[in-house]
Amino acid sequence: MAYLKNKALFFTTSPRTPSKMIPEIRLLSEHFTGRSWNKQSQVEFIDLLAQSDFFEGNGSPKNKDFSARDRINRAPKSLGFVNLSPHIELTDAGKALVYGKRPQEVFLRQLLKFQLPSPYHIEAETIDGSFYIKPYLEIMRLIRDLGSLSFDELKIFALMLTDYRQYDTVKNAILDFRVERETHKGQYKKYVDKKWTDALLQTYSEDIDAGNTKTRETTDKSLKKFLTTKKSNTRDYTDACFRYLRYTGLVAISHKNRSIEFYPDKLKEVDFILNNVDRKPIFVNDEECYKEYLFNSTTPMLYVDNIENIIDHIMHISDYTQRQLAGKNIEELKDIRDDIVAEHKEAVIKAQVTEIKSYALY
């Protein structure tokens, strides 16, 4: 259990790349299922991880139990892939992620269920009532409504959306920002930094007025250090949000414009999510019910869970006919769809390689 103390959204930053948690979760499941998640098992896990062929670190870290908690208690636990109490076990969602055919689909479901507050993330008394949101769901809504969302827009405005009922206020602030920035093209970086600073000063005004500006691992209580730390954190959270959403396969990231948007052929899936996934956090004070909800590998329902939708999509991207697809179950249809998409990707790559070779020869 963690306490929410800041009045801004956060996104899991460990691991930075979602796919990297899969082999680590598998390792935890295969060697520690049924054991208590304590300092001893945490140290053993890190030692085993350091010996694995997929580990990319530089040997075993000094603070092993902390490193283990950093890897497992954050994304794997928060997103419902592992249950650590009363003992270590892989959840149904975790099994689907690690051993299933479609990890991106499983990952998307879990992002949509992540909520603040929850039995895993409880508000501190000082900010009680500040959070009431499913962060990834509302970020997706902003991207859809605005067409795209830039890195700057997310870190300055979207991270301050701690209650989904404030959605329109945040969306309108971003629209105003887009109009105003056109008049600052020559000094865009300076303009963005000021807007960023103003947003943080407003969000943390009570802490600043009360002199609560000391950050972790430092004795410096200056406002300058406080703002520098908050900016560093919001930058990391924004980057993490981009990375986790990208892994779902729904979004494209433009590195040139530093923005995120949905692929045009995924808009039906996105609209289905936004129209059908409940925006309200649930089971905030009931850990058992929350776990049952979070660990479920089949909820929430997605657009691709409907047979008619899958058939329509397959016929749209291939030469399959209704007759050829009739009688197949949802998993068989998803296999066909995945094979078609893989073939299309391979064809595109081959065409690009041929083009590069032709240019080199020329």
pLDDT of residue 354: 85
Residues 39 and 102 in one domain: yes
Cβ atoms of residues 123 and 4 within 8 Å: yes
Residue 300 lies in a domain: no
Residue 152 is part of a domain; what is its CATH number? 3.90.241
Residue 57 lies in a domain: yes
Overall number of domains in the chain? 2
Residue 250 lies in a domain: yes
For residue 349, what are the domain limits? 306-361
Which of 274, 295, 316 is the last residue before a domain boundary?
Answer: 295
Which of 295, 323, 351 is the last residue before a domain boundary?
Answer: 295
Q: Which residues of the chain have pLDDT under 70?
A: 57-60, 216-217, 360-362
pLDDT of residue 361: 65
Q: What is the C-alpha separation between 59 and 340, in angstroms, rounded?
A: 41
Residue 301 lies in a domain: no
Q: What is the C-alpha separation between 208 and 109, in angstroms, rounded?
A: 38
Residues 325 and 190 in one domain: no
Residues 321 and 209 in one domain: no
Per-position b or e across 187-205, b if 16+ CB within 10 A of its CB: eeeebbeebbeebbeebbe
Residues 326 and 246 in one domain: no
**Cα dihedral 95, 101, 107, 108 sign:** negative
Residues 269 and 314 in one domain: no
Q: Which of 189, 138, 136 is nearest to 166 (CA)?
A: 138
Q: What is the C-alpha separation between 300 and 174, in angstroms, rounded?
A: 29
Residue 106 lies in a domain: yes
Condensed to tens digits (0 to 9), the pLDDT of residues 86-126 reads: 999 999 999 999 999 999 999 999 999 999 999 999 998 88
Residues 205 and 345 in one domain: no
Q: Which of 101, 84, 91, 81 is nearest to 22 (CA)?
A: 81
Residues 314 and 196 in one domain: no
pLDDT of residue 126: 85
pLDDT of residue 231: 94
Condensed to tens digits (0 to 9), the pLDDT of residues 260-303 reads: 999 999 999 999 999 999 999 999 999 999 999 999 999 999 99
Residues 287 and 321 in one domain: no
Residues 282 and 204 in one domain: yes
pLDDT of residue 62: 77
Residues 87 and 222 in one domain: yes
Residues 282 and 334 in one domain: no
Residues 346 and 288 in one domain: no
What's the CA angle centered on 279, arms 273 and 280, to 5 degrees?
A: 150
Residue 183 lies in a domain: yes
pLDDT of residue 60: 63
